């Protein structure tokens, strides 16, 4: 479907904001695994410091990332509800974009919590008794966490891609 000059351009502000938000979230999350963790692994020479840095990274990520995921999901949901109310077929793709974006949360609970909990336990142990944790064991767990985090980062990226498809459909470009 190509837009005619006399037709009204679809309003895509909410959907575009959701797309940008989900894209930002995925990129921010991916940078933790792709840049932050390798810096930790290359520069930390004892497990206490590595585990402390990981715990602080987790702390700040935990403050911002879930709320950004909820915001992107809410924007996709709002866009989906608006399209559904006006009987536009794109509502389903925006609903799928929102559902995919928020899937990072249950993925965290189901797949990452055991690794997170182990890292927190080791961090507490390492802080209480200096060098009580083997560096290579800590590095191995942090690498495992980084790979799980890469997978988690894909959910908002797929949500953004679905949102883009919805926008392109609305504009008649797909």
Per-residue confidence in pLDDT tens, the chain, 174 aa? 555 455 677 889 999 999 999 999 999 999 999 999 999 999 999 999 999 999 999 999 999 999 999 999 999 999 999 999 998 888 999 999 999 999 999 999 999 999 999 999 999 998 888 667 899 999 999 999 999 999 999 999 999 999 999 999 999 998
User: Residue 136: inside a domain, yes or no?
Assistant: yes
User: Residue 133: inside a domain, yes or no?
Assistant: yes
Please count the structural domains in the chain: 1
108-146 pLDDT, tens digit per residue, is: 999 999 999 999 999 999 888 866 789 999 999 999 999
The answer to whether the beta carbons of residues 142 and 119 sit under 8 Å apart is yes
User: Residue 6: inside a domain, yes or no?
Assistant: no
User: Residue 1: inside a domain, yes or no?
Assistant: no
Task: Compute the radius of gyration of the chain from its Cα atoms.
Answer: 20
User: Residue 105: inside a domain, yes or no?
Assistant: yes
129-139 pLDDT, tens digit per residue, is: 866 789 999 99
User: Residue 49: inside a domain, yes or no?
Assistant: yes
What is the Cα–Cα distance from 76 to 82, expressed in whole angstroms?
A: 10
Which domain does 36 fall in, by range?
Answer: 13-170
User: Residue 4: inside a domain, yes or no?
Assistant: no
Among 76, 74, 104, smallest CA distance to 164 is for 76
User: Residue 3: inside a domain, yes or no?
Assistant: no
């Amino acid at each position: 479907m190509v837009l005619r000059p006399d037709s009204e351009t679809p309003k895509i502000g909410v959907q575009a904001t959701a797309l940008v938000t989900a894209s930002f979230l995925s990129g921010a999350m991916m940078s933790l695994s792709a840049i932050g963790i390798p810096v930790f692994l290359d520069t930390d020479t004892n497990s206490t410091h590595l585990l402390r840095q990981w715990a602080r990274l987790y702390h700040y990520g935990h403050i911002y990332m879930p709320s950004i995921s909820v915001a992107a999901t809410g924007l996709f949901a709002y866009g989906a509800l608006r399209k559904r109310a006006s009987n536009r077929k794109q509502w389903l793709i925006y609903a799928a974009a929102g559902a995919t974006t928020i899937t990072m949360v249950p993925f965290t609970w189901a797949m990452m919590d055991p690794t997170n909990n182990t890292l927190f336990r080791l961090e507490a142990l390492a802080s209480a008794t200096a060098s009580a944790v083997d560096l290579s064991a800590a590095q191995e767990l942090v690498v495992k966490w980084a790979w799980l985090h890469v997978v988690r980062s894909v959910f908002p990226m797929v949500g953004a891609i679905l949102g883009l498809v919805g926008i392109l459909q609305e504009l008649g470009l797909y």
